[in-house]
Amino acid sequence: MIRSIDVESCRTISPTRNNPISSSKKKEYLPGRWASSPRDSVSVCGAVLRFTLSTLTGAWMFVAGVTTRLANTVPSAPTPSTPAPITPPIIATARLILPYFHSQSVAAWLHETINRLFTLSGVISIHESSHAEFNLARESILQAKIRHELLWQEIPSPENVVNKSLALGAGVKQGTGSETSIDSPAGAGRFMLLHDPDSFEEWGSNFRVVCFAQAPLEVEIGLDPFIADVTWAWLLDALEATGASYTNISGTATKIISEGFGGLAHQGKGSQLELRASWSPTGTQFAAHAEAWSEVLCSLAGFPQQEGTVSLDAFRNAHHRPQ
């Protein structure tokens, strides 16, 4: 079963005029400021732990070697005519503490402590590797060639989803001189990349893409029985055209027909098309997934499609069903 993730939560956290993001929050999500993230302190902790571990191991080996040599050093027995030699203080001290160093309980404690330190060091190394993997994916997406018809930006990711995630918001530009936002009425979408190595068995990958796109339609197009099928075909065509490799894809395409009454009668009839989908990237070309999402959003908004993308008329003719 593929874990269901609410994409709508990604829509509600986007910055608007009525809900501006504070300057500190903006700084957290600026592309150049990730080096100051609290997560990077783990790398410093790992370095300190490795230094402590190596120091402790070296000290233990040194002390064990010295005490072993002292234990094997047996002074010659004094002759009756010769007075017993005076034992130097350092040898006397070593003989005094030697039994403690050879105590099984102390040796077992030191052995267990060193093993725990090695285990903790390995866990931190895995965490650092996972963090680097996500950073590479993030940089790839931020360099994606998003369609120029869209205004897009990085937005805060929803909380309590996974430890590492990246979210983008995009809105269809409404022409020169008009104000455009990522919540444009002409079409809007959200793209989120989730990273969780613990979900590999469920996702089939360390990553999961969740996206949303919606745009208004002409009522005649909204009434077409094939429009939902064509919308899903647009997504598959866009993923193939951009070279994005993936697995475990799922989603829904929803068409909405509305009509105003009473005080909203002046709105008349309206139609809207909405796509929600998720899949697991299997390659390293993460930018291709964001580019495919932008292609689908532009297709919903009525912009020219890439060559080879199926059209509504072609899909209808291929299935030989009436409108």
Instruction: Read off the tokens for 283.
Output: 């390659």
pLDDT < 70: residue spans in the chain: 1-50, 53, 56-130, 176-179, 307-323
| Chain segment 41-74, per-residue pLDDT in tens | 556 666 666 677 677 666 666 666 655 555 555 4
Instruction: Give the pTM.
Output: 0.60
Outline where DSSP puts E strands in the chain: 150-155, 164-172, 188-195, 207-217, 246-259, 269-281
Q: What pLDDT was estimated at residue 248?
A: 96
| CA atoms of 140 and 166, how far apart (whole Å) | 11
| CA atoms of 164 and 160, how far apart (whole Å) | 10
Question: Which long-range contacts does 30-39 make (Cβ < 8 Å, 24+ apart)?
Answer: 31/142, 31/154, 34/135, 34/138, 39/131
Phi, psi of 208, rounded to the nearest 5 degrees: -145, 130
Alpha-carbon distances of 276 from 57, 185, 251, rounded to whole Å: 54, 18, 5
| CA atoms of 230 and 319, how far apart (whole Å) | 11
Ordered by start, the domain boundaries in the chain are: 8-34+145-319, 41-132
| Chain segment 230-273, per-residue pLDDT in tens | 999 999 999 999 999 999 999 999 999 888 888 888 878 888 99
Q: What pLDDT was estimated at residue 146?
A: 95
Quick count: other Cβ atoms within 10 Å of Cβ 284? 12
Q: What pLDDT was estimated at residue 279?
A: 98
